[in-house]
Amino acid sequence: MYESKFPPEHSAIPLWGCEDIYWEDFEIGRQIRSIRRTISEGESMAFNTLVVDLHPYVADEVFAVEEGLFGRRLVAGAFVFSAGIGLVGTNWLQAFSYGYDRLRFIKPVFIGDSIYTIRTNLAKEPKYEDRGLTRAKYEVFKGEGELVLYCEHIQTVLYRDPKTARGK
């Protein structure tokens, strides 16, 4: 068994960037907004290389400019999704990802664009003996509010009190 190496007084300090809430604490309608993040060519290409997405629209400047639909290189949708979710991602200690629904790439994002994300808590429902489901929408915007990506994240979240949460 692993034993913590932190002194007890350090272990008592809450973790930064973590939400220590349970299913019962999930507030429908609550919103958070991220800071903006400008996507550079280097990080875009690092992502493309890592996931082996070398489509000419994202990896070939000459193709994108001369033959591409938009006249310049795109940022891969998978990177916009990952970065957009990450901008409002917290380490929710009682939750585990169940999946994503309704993922849509609405508008293109280009190298040099700045994006930000708004997360809105939509719904929750009891599901299992020890945890329920929550649903939040993620809207990723670029520039001054142009919607570029939409998705809904479903998570399984521990109940604080399974008997009360399930109405037993």
What is the tens place of the pLDDT at every residue in 29-39? 999 999 999 99
Q: What is the pLDDT of residue 165?
A: 85
pLDDT bin (cut points 50, 70, 90) of residue 4 is: low
Residue carrying the six token digits 């169940």: 98
Q: What is the pLDDT of residue 13?
A: 81
What is the tens place of the pLDDT at every residue in 53-82? 999 999 999 999 999 999 999 999 999 999
Planar angle of CA 22, 24, 29, nearest 5 degrees: 105
Run of H or E residues at 11: helix 8-11
Q: What is the pLDDT of residue 16?
A: 78
Task: Output the pTM of the full model.
Answer: 0.90
Residue 79 backbone class (left: φ over 0; alpha: ψ -120 to 50; beta: rest): alpha
Instruction: Tell me how long the chain is.
Output: 168
Q: From residue 55, give the alpha-carbon distance in Å to each of 45, 48, 77.
A: 11, 9, 12
pLDDT bin (cut points 50, 70, 90) of residue 168 is: low
Q: What is the pLDDT of residue 2?
A: 65
Report the top-level CATH class of 18-165: alpha beta
What is the tens place of the pLDDT at every residue in 40-60? 999 999 999 999 999 999 999
**CB 158 within 8 Å of CB 143:** no
3-state SS track over the chain: CCCCCCCHHHHCCCCCCEECCCHHHCCCCCEEECCCEECCHHHHHHHHHHHCCCCHHHHCHHHHHHCCCCCCCECCHHHHHHHHHHHHCCEECCEEEEEEEEEEECCCCECCCEEEEEEEEEEEEECCCCEEEEEEEEEEEECCCEEEEEEEEEEEEECCCHHHHCCC
What is the tens place of the pLDDT at every residue in 96-138? 999 999 999 999 999 999 999 999 999 999 999 999 999 999 9
Q: How many CA atoms lie within 13 A of 159 on its CB side?
A: 17
Residue carrying the six token digits 């000459």: 62
